[in-house]
């Protein structure tokens, strides 16, 4: 994405908090803690540095630090938001979907029974579904594109707050528990469960912030 960062320098009055590579090779960039989005289209040779910028539709809600996913059908899912355009933590409980073909954002329901999503951890699974963690407890939820519905996921061993989830080559999801020092766990999609994944040899979590 180095070419994209170079292209950002050529975009006046722009501060991006989120950058998403879409399935068609264009890049969506969000205004920091705002509603506005821009789209970077590479030139015919694939150069982002020589590409062109265009504004696209704005989200319904301003947000910063949230779960996001580019779906296999090209749409973009955003859910939550630690901030909602201001400087106070709000842990937003709201989700939206962007359709790049129609240039439209539309509201989505959130997982049933959840009161906050905030800066939730998330990961697109190998089958295209999206796994999202609850900010305040051990619950997870799974978003199914197509019917665009949420279902309950399995409980983690601990809260997913501040975690980073990584999809591995075997289709499992690995994370380090920010609330539990060196401990790690994995999500197994075939059995739909979280299991212990050992521990790291070094402490990777900053104790002051409980962040990696």
pLDDT score at 212 = 82
- Angle, vertex CA 125, rays to CA 108 and CA 64, nearest 5: 50
Per-residue pLDDT tens digits for 35-85:
999 999 999 999 999 999 999 999 999 999 999 999 999 999 999 999 999
Pairwise pLDDT comparison (52 vs 6), residue with the higher score: 52
Give the residue from 97, 100, 98, 139 showing the smallest Cα distance to 116. 139
Say if CB 128 and CB 71 are below 8 A apart: yes
**CA-CA distance, 135 to 160, in Å (whole number)?**
6
pLDDT score at 17 = 76
Partner residues linked to 41 by β-bridges:
52
pLDDT score at 180 = 87
User: Tokens 């938001």 map to which residue?
Assistant: 81
At 91, the pLDDT band (50, 70, 90 cuts) reads very high
Query: What mean pLDDT, rounded, does the chain reach?
Result: 93
Say if CB 205 and CB 181 are below 8 A apart: yes
Per-residue pLDDT tens digits for 149-184:
999 999 999 999 999 999 999 999 999 999 888 999
For the chain, the 3-state helix, strand and coil shares in percent, each to the nearest 5, are: 5, 35, 60
Q: Is the pLDDT of residue 210 over 90?
A: no
**CA-CA distance, 120 to 52, in Å (whole number)?**
32
pLDDT score at 12 = 47
At 88, the pLDDT band (50, 70, 90 cuts) reads very high
**CA-CA distance, 142 to 147, in Å (whole number)?**
12
Q: Is the pLDDT of residue 148 over 90?
A: yes
Per-residue pLDDT tens digits for 100-140:
999 999 999 999 999 999 999 999 999 999 999 999 999 99
**CA-CA distance, 22 to 13, in Å (whole number)?**
23
């Amino acid at each position: 994405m180095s070419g994209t960062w170079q292209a950002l320098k050529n975009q006046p009055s722009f501060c991006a908090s989120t950058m998403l590579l879409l399935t068609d090779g264009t890049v969506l960039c969000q205004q920091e803690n705002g509603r506005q989005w821009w789209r970077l289209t590479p030139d015919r040779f694939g150069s982002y540095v020589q590409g062109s910028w265009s504004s696209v539709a704005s989200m319904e809600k301003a947000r910063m630090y949230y779960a996001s996913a580019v779906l296999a059908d090209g749409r973009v899912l955003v859910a939550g938001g630690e901030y909602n355009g201001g400087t106070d933590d709000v842990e937003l409980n709201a989700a939206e979907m962007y359709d790049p073909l129609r240039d439209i954002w539309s509201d989505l329901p959130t997982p049933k029974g959840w009161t906050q999503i905030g800066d939730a951890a998330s990961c697109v699974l190998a089958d295209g579904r999206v796994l999202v963690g609850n900010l305040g407890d051990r619950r997870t939820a799974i978003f199914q594109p197509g019917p665009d519905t949420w279902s309950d996921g399995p409980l983690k061993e601990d809260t997913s707050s501040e975690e980073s989830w990584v999809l591995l080559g075997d289709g499992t999801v690995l994370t380090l528990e920010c609330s539990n020092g060196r401990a790690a766990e994995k999500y197994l999609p075939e059995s739909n469960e979280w299991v212990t994944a050992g521990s790291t040899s070094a402490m990777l979590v900053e104790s002051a912030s409980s962040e990696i």
